């Protein structure tokens, strides 16, 4: 199987598995009827959501022998976590993401003439539960597939930045069912989709560049985790937060692109 065919087959299966898992959640919600809202706040629902978030990894496992003939899942994970972590890079990105989030919340508060505290829930219970559920869901569940497999395969044909954009778009459209269950309609839904795709692509660029500088899968997992985790503390309209986060991440991703290109030029000159 060629690298291109491997990528296409993997993307197809990751989408298929997610749609099946998402449809299962929908069926359960319909079955619950009037108790659907109560069920949505429970642990079982959160575990089902976590299961759906892991479908890119399940697709990787299902296709593993075709994607990596002669290898094993154990060897795969040894390789993707083998590189030494660049803690300076992780600390920098973490501080930057916190700054982006709180700055965005500050802008929303200023625009609505209200204190930031009205838009944030920084209670210990919220932070703790946000940390736990965010750890179990998207970031941990998706990155084995998106960056463990797909990113390196895309980089065999494209530059790091182009490969990151492609993976970001693929991951963005993978979330399509969530767009139409967001509760937004009409113009707000259009704004939501546009902002969502731009923000996730920009974060993908940041992830791809950082992953290129530290080839340990913990790096993309952590960056993805921080993006999701910070939003669990926001209590305002999610669309407002998404729009301003999108603006901020566009600027940040441009900065990372400039830094990465300068790094390549410097590296080439030193050789």
Q: What is the pLDDT of residues 156-183, one digit of tens each?
A: 999 999 999 999 999 999 999 989 888 8
Does 148 have pLDDT greater than 80?
yes
Tell me the C-alpha distance between 87 and 155, whole Å: 24
Alpha helices (H) in the chain, listed in sequence order:
3-32, 36-40, 43-53, 55-67, 73-80, 87-111, 124-136, 138-143, 151-154, 160-174, 176-179, 186-213, 218-231, 238-270
- Distance (Å) of CA 220 to CA 67, 108, 158, 203, 207: 21, 28, 19, 10, 5
Does 271 have pLDDT greater than 70?
no
pLDDT at 38: 66
Per domain, the residue ranges of the chain are 3-270
User: In terms of pLDDT, which residue wins out, 267 or 250?
Assistant: 250
Q: Coil, helix or strand for 234?
A: strand
Q: In sequence order, what are the residues at sequence separation of 6 or more whose Cβ sits closer than 8 angstroms to the Cβ of residue 11?
A: 150, 170
Q: Coil, helix or strand for 236?
A: coil
In this structure, are residues 165 and 205 in contact, taking their beta carbons and an 8 Å threshold?
A: yes
Tell me the C-alpha distance between 86 and 64, whole Å: 28
Tell me the C-alpha distance between 220 and 144, whole Å: 9
pLDDT at 250: 98
Pick from 22, 59, 14, 25: which is nearest to 171 by CA?
Answer: 14
β-sheet bridge partners, residue 234 = 120
DSSP-assigned letter for residue 160: H
- Distance (Å) of CA 181 to CA 131, 195, 212, 231: 23, 16, 34, 18
pLDDT at 208: 97
Tell me the C-alpha distance between 110 and 100, whole Å: 15
Model confidence at 27, pLDDT cuts 50, 70, 90, reads confident
pLDDT at 37: 65
Q: What's the pLDDT tens digit per position in 89-113?
A: 999 999 999 999 999 999 999 999 9
Q: What's the pLDDT tens digit per position in 46-85?
A: 888 889 999 999 999 999 999 999 999 999 999 999 999 9
Does 270 have pLDDT greater than 80?
no
Tell me the C-alpha distance between 186 and 125, whole Å: 35
Q: What's the pLDDT tens digit per position in 194-241?
A: 999 999 999 999 999 999 999 999 999 999 999 999 999 999 999 999
Pick from 229, 224, 231: which is nearest to 245 by CA?
Answer: 231
pLDDT at 183: 87
Task: Please tell me the pTM assigned to this model.
Answer: 0.93
Tokens (6 digits) for 31: 């079955």
In this structure, are residues 102 and 231 in contact, taking their beta carbons and an 8 Å threshold?
A: no
- Distance (Å) of CA 89 to CA 165, 182, 199, 212: 21, 33, 21, 12
């Amino acid at each position: 199987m060629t690298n291109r065919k491997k990528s296409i087959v993997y993307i197809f299966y990751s989408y298929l598995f997610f749609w099946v898992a998402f449809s299962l959640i929908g069926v359960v919600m319909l079955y619950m009827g009037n108790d659907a809202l109560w069920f949505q706040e429970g642990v079982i629902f959160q575990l089902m959501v976590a299961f759906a978030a892991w479908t890119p990894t399940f697709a990787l496992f299902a296709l593993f022998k075709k994607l990596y003939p002669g290898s094993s899942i154990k060897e795969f994970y040894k390789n993707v976590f083998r590189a030494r972590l660049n803690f300076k890079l992780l600390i920098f990105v973490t501080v930057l993401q916190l700054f982006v989030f709180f700055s965005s919340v500050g802008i929303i508060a200023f625009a609505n003439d209200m204190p930031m505290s009205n838009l944030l829930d920084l209670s210990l219970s919220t932070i703790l539960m946000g940390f736990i559920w965010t750890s179990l869901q998207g970031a941990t569940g998706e990155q084995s597939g998106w960056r463990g497999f797909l990113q390196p395969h895309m980089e065999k044909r494209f530059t790091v930045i182009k490969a990151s954009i492609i993976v970001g778009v693929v991951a963005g459209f993978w979330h399509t069912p969530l767009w139409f269950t967001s509760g937004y309609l009409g113009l707000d839904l259009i704004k939501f989709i546009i902002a969502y795709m731009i923000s996730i692509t920009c974060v993908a660029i940041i992830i791809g560049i950082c992953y290129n500088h530290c080839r340990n899968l913990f790096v993309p997992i952590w960056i993805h985790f921080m993006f999701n985790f910070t939003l669990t503390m926001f209590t305002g309209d999610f669309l407002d937060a998404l729009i301003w986060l999108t603006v901020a991440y566009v600027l940040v991703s441009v900065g990372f692109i400039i830094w990465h290109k300068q790094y390549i030029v410097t590296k080439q000159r030193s050789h």
